[in-house]
Amino acid sequence: MTKVSFRIFILLFTHSLYTFCQTNSYAEKPKLLIAIVVDQMRYDYIPRFFNKYKDRGFKRLLDKGFEFRNHHFNYIPTYTGPGHASIFTGSTPQYHGIIANNWYDKFEKKSVYCVSDSLVNPIGTVSEQEKRSPRRLLTTTFADSNRIDTQFKGKTIGISIKDRGAILPAGHSANRAYWFRGKDEGQWVSSDYYGSSFPKWVTNYNKTQPANTYLKTWNTLLPINTYSESGPDNNNYEKGFSQKALPTFPYNLKKLKEFNGNYDILKQSPFGNSLVTDFAIKAIKEENLGKDIYTDILTISYSSTDYIGHNFGVNSKEIEDTYLRLDLEIEKLLNVLDKEVGENEYTLFLTADHGAVHVPQFLKDHKIPGHYFNYKVFIEKINTYLHTTFNTNNLIINSSNNQLFLNYNKLEKLNLPCSVVTNKLQEFISKQPYIQHVFTRSQLIQKSFNNKIGPLVQNGFHQRLSGDIAYVLTPATITYTNKGSTHGSPQVYDTHVPLLFFGKGIAVGKSYTETSVVDIAPTICALLAIAQPNASSGIVLSEALKK
């Protein structure tokens, strides 16, 4: 071999080796990461309905993936906005700043919404209500990390019925986030934060008026007499739909539409989940997700489960039917992923943003403790106490999310130290019925707690944004109507949710080790070999990853 030939050989060999190493490095990563959040999914919905699930939905994730059976949220309030933000940032409201769905902004002196943004314009609608973006999220998500790692070649798309369920998971640098506008429109919408116009495929999809397909009769998937895992269909714990005398099957959605928010009625039916699945599948195909060497991320949030839970309660036939139908949606999505991306080329995780409480009236009727908290009377008592104690009014400027915000301007004029007022309030509130804990701002900033609840309140307390007093109600005590379920507490029924990993790079098995919501993002980042979000505080769940 001549010297020239040898040099050419070495050059070609080196180039081939470099190409192999680069390709091999990417080959270890999934082509597509699918993140599924089921809104208001209690952990026990998996074992409770297990025998009725089919083999290719939830059971496939369980049989071929890794399940964490003792997975919890480590902060309050357990709401949708903070839940989605925490899952994808690997941090808690203490850092990412989404302290509720809505909260009082003491600097703007008004209530704000977690994804509201007056600086953007809606796309796909003219409604000012759709001026939305992730700007109130103070930290990055793992989707942002992936965008940076791939030099913005890996795509990120977020999809949900709810705007906050689409926007917060997708992060700041997402290519797109889409959410559903019901009312009299029934369209997928977005904002110009993500671009000045829709891709052509979304415009064409909306022109087909896909929401009309789902305006049909909602009856049980299986014979209703087989739904032994839930209570009677006709009971006193459900709200139901307007202009329908009883909250019982069947529900003619097309007929009930005009009395229940027009297309918004789909949100309170399992067909809202179908709407999301079908749009997600369309996005996978049209955006060519998982088709190159750069990992793409698709976030899907199923919100109808939350609307149905609030309406009918966690022990309802409607909830059981919704989860049996969601099982079929998961199967449908997995089948498309197998075909479009490749059975061993994608990774998926499924979890929830919070759980829910049994209807307290249902608990009371069965001699189990459950209570309703009269918030209006509670605030009136506080104002009367403050007037009597300090001989003045309007010391509380806002009360929301189980927090009280003091009127700093009034305190300054009266030369009244904030600590004096908060200490007095703590003592007074702790004596009120159905109060479990009361914390002052100074305690949450400076103190360590030995009890279970204190750290959860602390992790949800943002030093700049949160209030001056935080209180926690006793278990199964809610501020809500006496029909339907809600959430938001640090109690186990709100914090315990499923966590399933499935697909490329995922081991098969299960664990009973207690894990936390902040562990999901670091685990995904370890799988993708990318940097963790900038405020991530969790650990890598190495049990779930193939060695």
- Which residues does the annotation mark as catalytic? 80
Nearest to 41 by CA among 54, 58, 59: 58
d(CA 182, CA 207): 15
d(CA 120, CA 502): 37
Instruction: Kindly tell me the sign of the dihedral angle through the C-alpha atoms of 106, 109, 114, 117.
Output: negative
Nearest to 303 by CA among 175, 215, 178: 178
**Structure tokens, 262:** 């027009």
**Structure tokens, 259:** 């009395």
What is the 3-state secondary structure of 55-116? CCCHHHHHHHCEEECCEECCCCCCCHHHHHHHHHHCCCHHHHCCCCCEEEECCCCEEEECCE
Query: What DSSP character marks residue 545?
Result: B
Three-state SS at 214: helix
Three-state SS at 301: strand
Dihedrals φ, ψ of 146, to 5°?
Answer: -70, -40
Neighbours of 336 (CB within 10 A): 16
Alpha helical stretches, state H, 216-270: 253-256
Strand partners, 176: 157
Q: What share of the chain is helix, strand, coil (3-state, %, to 5)?
A: 40, 15, 40
**Structure tokens, 412:** 């300054």
Three-state SS at 487: coil
Three-state SS at 158: strand
Three-state SS at 405: strand
- CA angle centred on 333, ends 543 and 341, rounded to 5°: 75
Three-state SS at 516: strand
Dihedrals φ, ψ of 518, to 5°?
Answer: -75, -5
Three-state SS at 324: helix
Cβ-proximal residues to 293 (8 Å cutoff; 6+ apart), any chain? 23, 26, 31
First to last CA, the chain: 44
